[in-house]
């Protein structure tokens, strides 16, 4: 009995929608937080005050911590939304979440846990097909195949196990 092609694609579409949501939700949260730290292209006084008096991160001067946070909270969410360097962006935001949880607001673990789940999902699964990462990986895979890279029979382009490339004679 033939099945509807759309029904066969639903699990993949659901996965892509979930991964898109896992990118958009934390990106929106961190972007909004970054916007509160700047006026135009400069850190605002309230951000500097918070980092000096309330957040008090160890090992970093308050002005440096505020600047790094503002840059990260603008750059990393953009990368997540585009699906470009998704795993690296998610790792950066997960690191920020960990710092916020441990040093700034330890009682807010339910909120930070929710952020962490979405970011860990992106780290483990990647951005999905609705991302520039997916488009670029397809482009590079086709380009490398056209150049004959990976066509030695060991399949190094097709799998995710770099050790198999090392074990298989080239």
Distances (CA, A) of 60 to 52, 66, 67, 68: 10, 9, 11, 10
Per-residue confidence (pLDDT) for residue 5, from 0 to 100: 77
pLDDT digits 0-9 by tens, 10-38: 788 899 999 999 999 999 999 999 999 99
Spatial contact of 23 and 127, defined as CB atoms under 8 Å apart: yes
pTM of the model as a whole = 0.81
Per-residue confidence (pLDDT) for residue 81, from 0 to 100: 97
pLDDT digits 0-9 by tens, 40-59: 999 999 999 999 999 999 99
Question: Above 90 in pLDDT, residue 142?
Answer: no
């Amino acid at each position: 009995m033939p099945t509807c092609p759309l029904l066969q694609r639903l699990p993949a579409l659901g996965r892509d929608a979930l991964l898109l949501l896992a990118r958009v939700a934390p990106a929106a949260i961190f972007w909004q937080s970054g916007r509160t730290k700047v006026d135009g292209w400069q850190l605002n006084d309230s951000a500097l005050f918070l980092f000096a008096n309330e957040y008090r991160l160890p090992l970093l001067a308050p002005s440096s911590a505020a600047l790094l946070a503002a840059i990260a909270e603008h750059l990393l969410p953009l990368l997540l939304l585009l699906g470009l360097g998704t795993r690296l962006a998610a790792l950066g935001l997960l690191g920020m979440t960990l710092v916020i949880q441990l040093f700034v607001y330890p009682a807010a673990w339910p909120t930070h846990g929710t952020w962490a789940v979405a970011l860990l999902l992106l780290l483990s699964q990647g951005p999905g097909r609705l991302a520039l990462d997916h488009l670029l990986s397809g482009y590079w895979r086709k380009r490398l195949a056209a150049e004959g890279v990976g066509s030695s029979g060991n399949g190094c382009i097709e799998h995710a196990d770099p050790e198999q490339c090392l074990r298989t004679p080239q």
